[in-house]
Structure 1
Amino acid sequence: MAYGQKILKLAFTQSLFGLALSLLLFSLLPDIVTADEYDYYSWQSDNFHNGRFYTKQPQCVDIPADLRLCHNVGYKKMRLPNLLDHETMPEVKQQAGSWVPLLAKRCHADTQVFLCSLFAPVCLDRPIYPCRSLCEAVRDSCAPVMETYGFPWPEMLSCDKFPIDNDLCIPMRHPNAVSKVCPPCDNELKTDNIMEHYCASDFVLKMKIKEVKKEKGDRKLIAAQKKKKVLKQGVLRKKDLKKLTLYIKNGANCPCSQLENLGSNFLIMGRKVDQQLLLMSIHKWDKKSKELKFAIKYMKSHQCPSYHTVFQ
């Protein structure tokens, strides 16, 4: 019997579930415990979970490579239905895809651990929920970032739904790690990143910025009157384009290096929320960037997923 199996069998025999979970989830050492080694656990016989009756018993399945949110989370198999009541893999992929951009914001080091504990729970013989303190830590760090883009912290992730810290829930692994850069300014000029924001944005423009002001805790970007190139018009009307003003929500004091020099053109992506145009992403228009050139060309033919809304 493999060393990892012996440890897990002994832990469960002695009812030391917390020790087994710790070895499995937090050391994440593939030479000690692998997904295949805990595949032999039997599921509970009933199909009733979390107040909902399932037509199928819970099963242990591979985390597919195109489940981008959780493919590299540290274990290879997940429980289905998951802990958000998604019963099929297409449903999991559709809902999880909305959260991928939040990982890039680095609002908390445990964001992926928290989200994947729900979207792709580790494959054990009973569901293991995130501890309430883990939820609260991620929420307190990431909710302000989400609000920048006009999205509230969703009810389905309400932290009072999760257990108070104990040996049978997933605890916080890292201390708070918040990026101080304004979220719309904290994006790499990479094709994949540009396309993520392109699909999640209501409108995309190439334009110049005339002036930047602070207003009630927000940062206000006033567009220059010069002709703007519309790459995605979406909800923008002609009168919006004539006197275009964008806002970085709660962004009055966070740094944004792109706005230190307003002489160049910018790639601007945004959403319309409550009659305000919120900035989602800003890049200096670098003519020499191959990544930018490819993204602009790709926009002409790219079909965005219909469900794609960042931070659903």
Structure 2
Amino acid sequence: MPKVPGAIMGLLLAGFLGSSSGASAEEYEYYGWQSDHLQGGRFYAKQPQCVDIPSDLRLCHNIGYRKMRVPNLLEHDTLPEIKQQASSWVPLLAKRCHPDTQIFLCSLFAPICLDRPIYPCHSLCQAVRDGCSPVMESFGFPWPEMLKCDRFPLDNDLCVSLQSPGNPATQPPVSKICPPCDNEMKADVILEHFCASEFALKMKIKDIKREKGDRKIISQRKKKVLKMGPLKKKDLKKLVLFIKNGANCPCNQLENPNSNFLIMGRKWDNQLLLTVIHKWDKKNKDLRYAVKIMKTYQCPTYHHVFQ
């Protein structure tokens, strides 16, 4: 069977659902479908439905088609669950680790609504994994088992194919900045990372070193805890953070360490990893607002995949 390029999936959807003839997704009946790649022949008890992609499903907003299949291809069977789980991947899009990241993830979280499930091709999974797994690892997340590429069909099957194969000139530039240092100072972004991180602090930096390809950041004694997470009192006395594989990548915030910083991070493999760093700018309204509501902010409940 031919591959399905993501760029034409919207046209496929319009054609299949007969949008020009007035037919709607809800007019099609589904008698159960078999997920023969991811669930090993598992039948869903709940009949799939075609629904509008919600405007607050940020991961797949403006993906190129309007209708999605529920349950999706990751066994999420309600829209609240899908939105909750997909939210944990939004920060990865901002890292621009591969131009097809959104196409790949949305083919699973918000699959196009056709008469059978359309999976991402094996090659699409591999390309996104190879581009994004180093970024994920810098945040303390390995490539998850549920996205293991051998779960997806080879490229001679009907599947969503790679859109940006091997032509750097046509791909958006990938930032070389250390991932924790490359984040917008906007309230919603700060809160997304606050929810995704296990701990958050206001602190000053005492020293910065390079160690085995990582960057090692040693804090000064005085600090304010905004989110304790897995930190213990002994951690706070001599806090040491690492930017994984960050010995040589640029980080503007660390060029002038003699100021206060908003620091967020995660504990992984007995190390405290720095996931976000912002200069503590009292004049920045977004920072002031985000910090003000952190204590009462209701974070979504994510599976720990990439948050």
Which residue identity lines up with residue 121 of structure 2 in the other structure? C
Residue 14 (structure 1) aligns with:
none
- 1:286 corresponds, among 276, 281, 290, to 281
Aligned partners of 1:83 and 1:306: how far apart in 2? 20
Q: Which residue of 2 aligns with 1:7?
A: none
2:256 paired with 1:261: yes
TM-score, length-scaled by structure 1: 0.85
> 2:150 is matched with which residue?
160
The aligned counterpart of 1:182 is 178
Structure 1, unaligned stretches of length 5 or more? 1-16
Q: Secondary structure of 2:225's match?
A: strand
Preserved contact between residue 212 and residue 220 of structure 1 (Cα < 8 Å) = yes
Cα pair distance change 1:96/1:236, threshold 3 Å: same
1:96 maps to 86
8 Å CA contact 1:39, 1:60 repeated in 2 = no
Distance of 1:131 and 1:53 partners within structure 2: 21
Counterpart Cα distance in 2 of 1:147 and 1:188:
20
AA at the equivalent of 1:221: I
Instruction: Specify the alignment match of 2:202 in structure 1.
Output: 206
Consecutive unaligned residues in structure 2, runs of 5 or more:
166-170
Give the direction of change, closer, same or farther, for the CA distance of 1:46–1:301 in structure 2 (3 Å limit).
closer
Per-residue CA deviation, residues 39-94 of structure 1 (Å, 9 max, x unaligned), is: 46845644433311222322211111222211321111011221122222222222
Q: Which of 103, 121, 125 is the aligned partner of 1:131? A: 121
Q: Report deviation, 1:236.
A: 1.5
2:160 is aligned with 1:170: yes
Matched, 1:243 2:238: yes
After superposition, the Cα gap between the structure-2 partners of 1:214 and 1:80, relative to the gap in structure 1 and judged at 3 Å, is: same
Larger radius of gyration: 1
Mean CA deviation greater in 212-221 or 97-106:
97-106
Is contact 1:47–1:55 with CA below 8 Å preserved after alignment?
no
Is 1:302 the counterpart of 2:283 in the alignment?
A: no
Asked if the contact 1:200/1:310 (under 8 Å) is kept, the reply is no
Q: Is the 8 A contact 2:35 2:117 kept in 1?
A: no
The answer for the alignment partner of 1:143 in structure 2 is 133
Cα distance, 1:126–1:43 mapped onto 2, change above 3 Å = farther
- 239-248 or 79-88, which deviates more: 79-88
Distance 2:61 2:282 in 1: 34
Counterpart CA distance in 2 for 1:139 and 1:43 is 35
Structure 1, 142-151 or 163-172: larger mean CA deviation: 163-172
TM-score of the pair, normalised by structure 2: 0.87
Kindly state the Cα deviation for residue 218 of structure 1 after the two structures are TM-superposed. 0.7
- CA distance, structure 1, for counterparts of residue 158 and residue 305 of structure 2: 31
1:86 is matched with which residue? Answer: 76
Q: Residues 113, 64 of structure 1: CA spacing in aligned structure 2 closer, same or farther, 3 A cutoff? A: same
Which residue in 1 is equivalent to 2:266? 271
> Contact 1:132/1:159 (CA < 8 Å) preserved in 2?
yes
* Deviations 1:89-111 (CA, angstroms, capped at 9, x unpaired): 22222221221111111111111
Secondary structure at 2:189 match in 1: helix
Amino acid at match of 1:233: M
8 A Cα contact 2:126 2:149, kept in partner: yes
Q: Using the TM superposition, give the Cα deviation of residue 238 of structure 1 relative to its aligned residue in structure 2, in angstroms.
A: 1.7
> Higher strand proportion, which one?
2
Is 2:16 aligned against 1:26?
no
How far did 1:247 drift? 0.1
Identity of matched residues, %: 67
